[in-house]
Amino acid sequence: MLSPTSDYETSSPNTFYFNQSGPTEFVFWLLTISPKIQALLFSFFLLLYMMIICSTTAIIWATYTHTSLQTPMYFFLSSLSFVEICYTTTSVPLMLSNILRARKPIPLAGCATHMFFFGTLGSTDCFLMTVMAYDRYVAICHPLQYTLIMTPQLCTQMVAGSLGLAVFLSLPLTSLIFTLPFCGCFLEINHFFCDVPPVLNLACADILVPRAVLYVISTIVLTVPFLLICISYVFITITILRIPSAEGRQRAFSTCSSHLTVVLLQYGCGGLVYFRPPSSTPADEDWHLALVYTFVTPLLNPIIYTLRNKDVKNALKKVISKKAASENL
């Protein structure tokens, strides 16, 4: 771990004291102290962030401007894209700011707010993936009843329910964590944002109950949706194997494998962070895994879910062509 700047006096590896009578604030772990590497990391992560924003925005734009994409499947995709824009925006700008403005403190209330929004949006992301698996189950296993089951009202309710359940789970967990006492005024978080495990480890009180609550909520957010996705795909696989056309089976399996790839990345990394025993691996591995579900998964989602889809690519081409034609007039 890198040493703190000279403005802080250290009494423990994770605690920095500046003024004992002041309010509690957090500082984030430095990725590097080299200005050249800082500039390189800043440029790299900024490029990834802009790619995520542009690709997900393109999906939303195409969905709402092209009538052929205004179906339940693409409604869920556009909802997922919007959530991931918000999801990455809660953490990446903070990370970029920390790279250039080393050890900029964040107040207790700011860290709590950030944790709440990150937890809410991350949970919503997981629930929406489950909703999308159900949508594919209905489309493949019950194609004749698809339009009767997946009504616009149900689709809206499922997206709203995903967000509502995420808020319901994130708010009490965040409140519980930030009612714990924190010893010292400046505490170092071994992470690049206010995630639950590293902040919880800084509390100077018994964290058995908060950690148990974290496991219960993680089970609801990660394990239960993952099992539901697996069950959906068992039925989907059985139905696909009954398709007589080899081309039809290949197309269906391609769609399933794409979705499952993102699911395994998202749930696998989340499970390693939130279900892992506290002393099983070094703490700095948390932020290595967090880089995957903060950058890699949101970047892969538009490519895997939609940009490989001919309908979406054709819609984007038409929208861009119309935009270019209108500007030339």
Q: Are 157 and 127 in contact (CB under 8 A)?
A: no
Average pLDDT over residues 79-105: 84
Alpha helices in the chain (DSSP H): 35-65, 72-89, 92-100, 108-141, 146-149, 152-177, 196-200, 208-218, 224-241, 246-274, 285-291, 297-301, 310-328
Q: In what order do the strands lie in the sheet with 25-28?
A: 9-12, 15-17, 186-189, 25-28, 106-107
The number of beta carbons lying within 10 Å of the beta carbon of residue 301 is 26
Average pLDDT over residues 16-22: 43
Q: For a pLDDT cut of 90, what percent of the chain falls above it? A: 26
pLDDT digits (tens, 9 = 90+) for 266-322: 777 777 767 666 655 555 566 777 787 788 888 877 777 665 566 676 766 776 666
Confidence at 9, pLDDT banded by 50, 70, 90: very low
In a domain, 202, yes or no: yes
Q: Are 182 and 24 in contact (CB under 8 A)?
A: yes
Average pLDDT over residues 239-244: 82
In a domain, 89, yes or no: yes
Please count the structural domains in the chain: 1
CA gap 293, 251 in Å, rounded = 27
Instruction: Provide the pLDDT for residue 1.
Output: 36
In a domain, 328, yes or no: no
Distance of CA 86 to the CA centre of its chain: 9
Instruction: Provide the pLDDT for residue 37.
Output: 83
302 vs 89: which has the higher pLDDT: 89
Instruction: Provide the pLDDT for residue 204.
Output: 86
Rounded to 5°, angle at Cα 51 from 252 and 62: 55
192 vs 271: which has the higher pLDDT: 192
| CATH number, domain containing residue 154 | 1.20.1070.10
Q: Are 260 and 240 in contact (CB under 8 A)?
A: no
pTM for the model: 0.82
In a domain, 302, yes or no: yes
CA gap 65, 115 in Å, rounded = 34
In a domain, 4, yes or no: no
Please state which of the ranges 44-58, 71-85, 264-278, 312-326 shows the lowest mean pLDDT: 312-326
In a domain, 321, yes or no: no
Residue 286: give the domain boundaries: 9-311
In a domain, 1, yes or no: no
Instruction: Provide the pLDDT for residue 101.
Output: 66
Confidence at 120, pLDDT banded by 50, 70, 90: very high
